[in-house]
Amino acid sequence: MIASLVGLLALAAPFPGQPAPEFLEPTAAGINVNLDVYKGKTVVLEWTNHGCPFVQKHYGADNMQKLQKRANAEGIVWLQVISSAPGKQGYVSPEEANTLNDERGAVVSHVLLDEDGSMGQAYAAKTTPHMFIIDPEGIVRYNGAIDTIPTADPADIPNAQNYVMTALEQLKAGQDVVTSVSRPYGCSVKYADS
């Protein structure tokens, strides 16, 4: 029964060209945000888990932060999403979430604390990191990995092509995103056991 429900949810995975699922989640700042308030702005969703070696690869090499700063400079909304269930790897309190980002120098608009996994499942987020780009009309424009080399080795970052950066550049130039889907790589999102 649960499996078939999950199956239905998986079917609803938004892919590029489709409207992004609405969400309403508490943030580490103590407010609730939904997608609708960002209408008119480009939104990046980044699924994360600070204990995951693949996330550590991109934060440890300052790769994620660079991307965040660049997006921030262009007025793009960056939402970090933590879908780890309580007790699972990556689950943090609001304070811990803020401390982590301060220590890493991360620049994000908000950290969404999706501890029941509802938002993660609405987006069919599979890994950390798993990236989405939503355009000002609320349409998904990119769904997939952060870059082209699926390893946990920071030494690979310089040789990889960053999908998210490329997609943001193409959107900025008013073009279609060429690679709008890729296989996300990383640790599985630590949802609650079903």
Partner 1 sequence: MIRLIFACLALFAAAHAQSGEAVRTGHAESRLIAEKTAAVPGETLWVALAQELEEGWHVYWKNPGDSGLPLVLGWTLPRGFGAGEIGYPLPHRLPLGPLTNFGHEGSPTFLVPITVPADAEPGRTAQFDVFAEWLICLDVCIPEAAQLSLSLPIASSADDVPGNADRIRAARSALPRDLGLDAQFAEKDGSLVLQVNGAPQGEAYFYPNAQGMTEPTPPQDAVRTDEALYLKLTPGIEYQMEPPSEIAGLLVLEADGQEIGVEVSAARTDAIALPAAFGSAQTSSTGAPNIILVFAFALLGGVILNAMPCVFPIVFLKAASVAKLAGADRKTVQTDAFAYIAGVLVTFAAMAGLLLILRGAGAQLGWGFHLQSPIVVGLSALVVFLIGLNLAGLFEIGTSVQGVGSGLASKGGATGSFFTGLLAVLVAAPCIGPFLGVPIGYALTAPAFAAIAVFLALGLGLALPYLALAAVPGLAAALPKPGAWMIRLKQLFSFAMFGTVVWLSWVVSIQTGSQGVLILGAAFVIAAFAAWLFGLAQEKGGAPLLRGGALAALIAAAVPMATLTSAAAPVTSLSITKEAYDETRLAALQAQGTPVFIDFTAAWCVTCQYNKRVVLDTAEIQEAFAETGTVFMVADLTNPDPVITAAIERQGRSGVPLYLYYNGTGEPEILPQILTQERVKATLEQRG
Residues forming the site for partner 1 (CB under 8 A): 3-4, 6-7, 9-11, 13, 15-16, 51-54, 85, 88-89, 117, 121, 124, 126-127, 143, 150-153, 155, 180-181, 183-194
Handedness of CA 106, 108, 112, 118 (dihedral sign): negative
User: Nearest approach, Cβ of 16 to partner 1 (angstroms)?
Assistant: 7
Count of CA atoms in the C-beta half-sphere (13 A) of 82: 30
Q: How far is CA 194 from the centre of its chain?
A: 22
Nearest residue (CB) to partner 1, 71 versus 119: 119
Q: At what angle do helices 63-73 and 53-60 cross, to 10 degrees?
A: 60
Helix (H, G, I), strand (E, B) or coil at 84: coil
Nearest residue (CB) to partner 1, 16 versus 78: 16
Nearest residue (CB) to partner 1, 25 versus 76: 25
User: Nearest approach, Cβ of 167 to partner 1 (angstroms)?
Assistant: 14
Q: How many CB atoms lie within 10 A of CB 29?
A: 12
Strands (E), 31-186: 32-34, 43-47, 77-82, 110-113, 127-128, 130-134, 140-144
Nearest residue (CB) to partner 1, 68 versus 143: 143
Nearest residue (CB) to partner 1, 72 versus 148: 148
Contact 84, 190 (CB under 8 A): yes
User: Nearest approach, Cβ of 89 to partner 1 (angstroms)?
Assistant: 5
User: Nearest approach, Cβ of 158 to partner 1 (angstroms)?
Assistant: 12
Residue with tokens 């699972």: 88
User: Nearest approach, Cβ of 75 to partner 1 (angstroms)?
Assistant: 28
